[in-house]
Amino acid sequence: MNLLRDGAIGLSVGISAHLIWDALLSSTRRGFYIHGFGGSLSWLWLLGNLIGGLAVPLLLATQIHRSNHTSA
């Protein structure tokens, strides 16, 4: 079960990093371009996904860290 949990944490952080990288390249119109990106709803959607994609693994890692210290 730890392997599945750790994989989900890594996947979530990796997807969030990919989202921000694509957004940065799209805003410069170099490399990968997301058609229609740049409106306020696009940025709000991206920000919400980034917060969720980074907050959930951070909370999980904090909980894991706490449970390892209380059980030791």
Percent of the chain exceeding pLDDT 70 equals 78
pLDDT, tens digit (0-9, with 9 covering 90-100), for 41-72: 777 887 888 888 888 888 888 888 888 888 65
What's the pTM? Answer: 0.59
Task: Please report the pLDDT score of residue 25 as a whole number.
Answer: 72
Residue written as token pair 């989202």: 19
